[in-house]
Amino acid sequence: MRKLKIIEHTSLDGVIQHGQDGDFPYGDWTVPYRTPAGREAIIAAHGGSFDLLLGRRTYDMWSDFWPKAPSSPLADGLNAATKYVATHRPEGLEWGPYVGFGPDLIEGVRRIKSQEGPDLILSGSSTLTSPLLEHGLADEILLVVYPVLLGRGKRFFAEGTPAHTFELVRTESMSSGVILSTYKAAGPLNP
């Protein structure tokens, strides 16, 4: 059975939004904190071979960038990965290889995880995170936490995400102040 790992870049206050999306004013706020060591840690976290699980908006944003990006271990891995896209509108999926698995996220991910293949990586796609955690489909979370407060923007966890516990697997700090913490899902929080 394949594992599903969520890799998310987040501010201290949980904001994962990047770019000039809507009224979000901060663009790519992660740039000042990027280092070669951080890049290598992210590449290692993806593993040698992986597939992607993406929502349609993230797929569309990434398909405008990654196919044109210079060759690098991360770009090459993302471009080679099969992209499983949760979407109501499969037309226009061109960055491949890809599979549009329809609007039923939970059944689609269960089916994909039950098949043979490399592990799945979910990054971005904030609307997918909470339901995947609620249904116990995420096996691991890597939070890449930047030493910045943004105050507003899309958050990693949606309001109303069911309470859940996690076990810390490992943590690593970068000279830039970025902290990488890996967690595995432990189960629901029992009050």
Question: What would the pLDDT profile of 161-171 be if each residue is shown by its tens digit?
Answer: 778 889 999 99
Q: For position 20, what pLDDT does the model report?
A: 63
Best CA proximity match to 133, nearest among 10, 1, 4, 15 = 4
Convert the pLDDT of each residue in 52-90 to its tens digit: 999 888 888 889 889 999 999 989 999 999 999 988 777
Is 30's pLDDT higher than 90?
Answer: no
Range 102-120 average pLDDT: 90
Best CA proximity match to 42, nearest among 138, 167, 176 = 176
Spatial CB neighbours of 149, under 8 Å, sequence gap ≥ 6: 11, 12, 13
Q: For position 80, what pLDDT does the model report?
A: 94
Q: For position 21, what pLDDT does the model report?
A: 63
**Statement: the pTM of the whole predicted model exceeds 0.95:** no
Q: Domains for the chain: give ranges and CATH numbers.
A: 4-188 (3.40.430.10)
- Answer whether 15's CB lies under 8 Å from 47's CB: no
Handedness of CA 61, 122, 52, 144 (dihedral sign): positive
Range 103-131 average pLDDT: 89
Q: For position 69, what pLDDT does the model report?
A: 92
**Which one is predicted more confidently, 4 or 1?**
4
